[in-house]
A and B are shown apart, each in its own frame.
Chain A
Amino acid sequence: MSAPLSADLAQIGKSVVIKGELSGSEDLYVDGQVEGSIALKNNSLTVGPNGSVKATVEAKGVVVQGKLEGNVQASDRVELRKSAVVTGDITTQRISIEEGAYLKGKVDIQGKAADRAAGK
């Protein structure tokens, strides 16, 4: 599966290995290996089916199809697709989890969504 081509989408292919801090102001598609931290405050991270990310993640949206180990903070939403294997705590406003996804960690809904759930 390949990521949709877009001018504002950076891609890390499946043979690429990166260790360190990643930050940027465009969406990122990771199908390779990343270890360290990823900060995309106003953009989205997609971990492709071959992707393996061992990092703390801060992004607007996070979609996981592969492996992700580390805490995730998403200001908007998190999607765990059926092939996702996630180990770490997730803090977000909205989350969707497909049947078959694996999660070891906490789900903490914060912000407007939590206020709505709490009837505030």
Chain B
Amino acid sequence: MKLFRGSSGGTEAATPQLAQKLTRRSSGLGELSRIWEEDSPLCVLDLGSTSPANIRFFVERGHKIYSEDLLVASTEANLVTKDEQGNVVLDSRKFLADNLVYPAAHFDVVLCWNLPDYLDESLVRPVMGRLWSVLKPGGMLLAFFHTKDAGPDSPCYRFHIIGKDTLEMQRIVLKREARRGPTGAVHTAITDGFHLQRVFNNRHIETLFRDFASIKFFLARDNVREVLVVR
């Protein structure tokens, strides 16, 4: 199922780019907005990059918001291991011991954004299983998937809620990071964001969410399929 994998390579990785911000309408978000305009306080889990806009959006409405950037968490070096065939994979047990540690049936809404498309193959199913368990029965999860027309270099975005059905998308840009190596010396590394790992078709998406009670697709114009699932 893995159609695209790895780095796009070339010289692009050495060229920092400006953060592009785009606005897009989201039918899935519009559908979700009905529940957060209600009076009862909700428990919301945002799995994208920390977004001040999203935190403000929910706390202003009296909801509790949890923020956890799973893509960044998946880059921890100590997760790398080998499977029985000797292939390099990420240790999903270790990952789930440190991340998504919440009581069962805790959240009303999970904002998954484009996480499944960019998360390492070995983590996708275990993470979706954990998300099912932390969602309340009747709770909703919003995820975005690229369609087959999206190229392997489709940029990874952060999503900021700026209206009840409007998102601001901010491209995750290249940045230089100073890291301390094992000898104590400081190295400068260029982190180049995240690469599209695969393209799910409708059947793959249905299989991914087979434990959920219902699934609704919204096809957008920008080669993105929005999916709203209910536990």
Contact = CB atoms under 8 A, between A and B. Distances in A.
Interface of A: 95-99, 101-109, 114, 117-118
B147 interface: no
Given A95-B55, A105-B66, 19 more contacts: A95-B59, A97-B52, A99-B52, A101-B50, A101-B52, A102-B50, A102-B69, A103-B50, A103-B55, A104-B67, A106-B64, A106-B65, A107-B59, A107-B65, A109-B59, A117-B60, A117-B61, A118-B39, A118-B62
A95 B54 CA distance: 13
Given A95-B59, A98-B52, A118-B41, A107 B68 contact: no
23 contacts: A95-B55, A96-B52, A97-B52, A97-B55, A97-B56, A99-B52, A103-B50, A104-B67, A104-B69, A104-B73, A105-B66, A105-B67, A106-B65, A106-B66, A107-B55, A107-B58, A107-B65, A107-B67, A108-B64, A117-B60, A117-B61, A117-B62, A118-B41
Contacts of B65: 106-107
A104 B56 CA distance: 15
Given A103-B67, A105-B66, A106-B64, A117 B50 contact: no
- The interface centre, meaning the residue of B39, B50, B55, B60 with most chain A CB atoms within 10 A of its CB, is B50
B69 to A, nearest CB: 7
Nearest to A118: B62
A84 to B, nearest CB: 9
B67 to A, nearest CB: 5
Contacts of B67: 103-105, 107
Contacts of B62: 109, 114, 117-118
Contacts of A109: 59, 62
B59 A117 contact: yes
A97 B160 CA distance: 14
A108 B73 CA distance: 23
B50 A107 contact: no
B153 to A, nearest CB: 24
A22 to B, nearest CB: 27
